[in-house]
Amino acid sequence: MSLLLVLSMLGCLMASSPLSAQPTLVSQPVWTNLPGAEYPRVHSDLRVTFRLQAPNAQKVELVPGGNDNGLGAGPFEMTKDEKGFWTVTTPSAVPGFHYYWFSVDGLAVNDPNTYTFFGWNKECSGIDIPDPQGDFYQVKDVPHGDLRSRWYYSKTTQSWRHIIVYTPPDYDANPKGRYPVLYLQHGSGESERSWAEQGRVNFILDNLIAAKKARPMIVVLENGMVASKPGAAPGAGGRRNEAFAEVVIHDLIPYIDANFRTLPDRMNRAIAGLSMGAGQALQIGLSNLDKFAYIGAFSGGGIRNFDLTTSYNGVFRDPAAFNKRVRVLWFGAGSAEAARMTAVKESVEAMNKAGIKAVWFESPGTSHEWQTWRRSLNDFAPRLFPR
């Protein structure tokens, strides 16, 4: 059984669970735990207790994924009891999804009590801290779309590539219907699975569509980390993404338009991404305005020393013409990712001052993490494809 299917099944169970109805609980496991696993446990004040059985280990630490995370500045030393269980309770965590793993005598080990998620260029443990304002990404009793796994051949990379495609709830029931498309990218060290698993994109779109806040749309998830041209040296381009723009324009869009019932024109096509994916969205979108009318950059894409005539090859040179072509140019970041937020916000202010209509969104209290990006999508998607 695929992880995507397992997570969808777990999400359905959450709809009637205490966790879904009461986000802040008195010491409860969360949906990212394996069935029956009692740890990690989230306390009512959002402290988290982790436990690992390693009776022969000499030193065990809890390692949060990076400095910009909601679990706190680790690593956290764990203590062992007489039965060989190591435990630690963190300070109150920021709501949302966070990567972590254990260091057992210096060896990185995933938590056997949780599902794994691809991040940091590897499979990591993950925990989703309940958010009292997180109702928008929970599974609800509304019509649900599908996450479809597809393989297509890229002439650019001369390889088969895997994508995940969200189709809206009425896609199969409305065989004559055609839909706009959002191409949505993950961040560095992640993959095409990330928005479907960590980001809960399907539930966000399901809920927006059911509430008539967003138009039914197709969402395409690709791997922006693995797009090297034939003959490229291993690791070429640092992230192996030097050919990704060509993949999107020459391979991916034609495949989606040929195999899904799309509205295949720029007014019905958007591109967005987070962090690294934000830079990709700006690069690809602003360089191909014949393909995209909507562009979103989540926690990334700040244009330092913005210049109306030279930035992005002068695409902003005529503000009136740009505003007419680009229906939404959206930027957002978390208030706790201070340096990145400041850079992006300053870019938006410079654009607005120059006459470019750019939207700014700020996620309160979150850093460079999935809660920022879930909130970003929840704000961005309703702005797309007005009828």
pLDDT of residue 292: 98
**Strand spans (E) along the chain:** 41-42, 48-53, 60-64, 76-77, 79-80, 85-89, 96-104, 107-109, 116-119, 122-129, 146-154, 159-167, 181-185, 218-221, 269-274, 294-298, 328-334, 359-363
Question: What 3-state class would DSSP assign to 115?
Answer: coil
Instruction: Look up tokens 């991040």; give the residue.
Output: 119
Pairing of strands 181-185, 269-274: parallel
> Do the domain assignments include residue 6?
no
Is 15 part of any domain?
no
Same-domain status, 187 and 287:
yes
Range of the domain at 118: 25-130
* Shared domain check, 44 and 146: no
- Per-residue model confidence (pLDDT) at position 340: 78
Q: What is the tally of structural domains in the chain?
A: 2
Claim to verify: residue 153 and residue 188 sit in the same structural domain: yes
Residue 186 is predicted with a pLDDT of 97
Residues 306, 228, single domain; the answer is: yes
* Same domain, yes or no: 246 and 377: yes
pLDDT at 233: 62
Instruction: Count Cβ atoms within 10 A of the Cβ of residue 238 and give its class: 0-12 exposed, 13-18 middle, 19 or more buried.
Output: exposed
Same domain, 288 and 224: yes
Same domain, 98 and 172: no
Q: Is the bond into 234 cis (omega within 30 degrees of 0)?
A: no
- In whole angstroms, give the CA distance from residue 29 to residue 132: 16
Q: What are the residues whose beta carbons fall under 8 Å from the beta carbon of 136, sequence distance 6 or more?
A: 204, 207, 208, 374, 378
CB atoms within 10 A of CB 234: 6
Q: Is residue 5 part of a domain?
A: no
Question: Has residue 19 been placed in a domain?
Answer: no
Could you tell me if 169 and 183 lie in one domain?
A: yes
Residue 281 half-sphere exposure toward CB, CA atoms < 13 A? 33
Q: Percent helix, strand and coil across the chain, each rounded to 5?
A: 25, 25, 45
Are 152 and 103 contained in the same domain? Answer: no
Q: What is the pLDDT of residue 300?
A: 86
Q: Where is the domain boundary, 86, 102, 130?
A: 130
Domain final residue, candidates 91, 111, 130: 130
Domain boundary, last residue among 113, 130, 147: 130
Q: Does residue 156 sit within a domain?
A: yes
Instruction: Extract the residue ranges of the chain whose pLDDT is less than 70.
Output: 1-25, 232-239
3 state DSSP class of 322: helix
User: Is 183 a member of any domain?
Assistant: yes
**Does some domain include residue 16?**
no
Tell me, what CATH number does 193's domain have? 3.40.50.1820
Residue 93: per-residue pLDDT: 94
308 and 227 both lie in a single domain: yes
d(CA 14, CA 350): 44
Order of strands across the sheet that contains 48-53 = 41-42, 48-53, 85-89, 79-80
Has residue 325 been placed in a domain?
Answer: yes
Look at residues 202, 215, 197, 57 and name the one whose alpha carbon lies nearest to residue 115: 197
Same domain, 96 and 140: no
Q: 192 with 45, same domain?
A: no
Could you tell me which of 127, 323, 133, 118 has the C-alpha nearest to residue 224?
A: 118
The pTM (predicted TM-score) of the whole model is: 0.90
Task: Tell me how far the alpha carbon of residue 173 is from its chain's centroid.
Answer: 28
Q: DSSP readout, 36-63?
A: T---SEE-TTS-EEEEEE-TT-S-EEEE
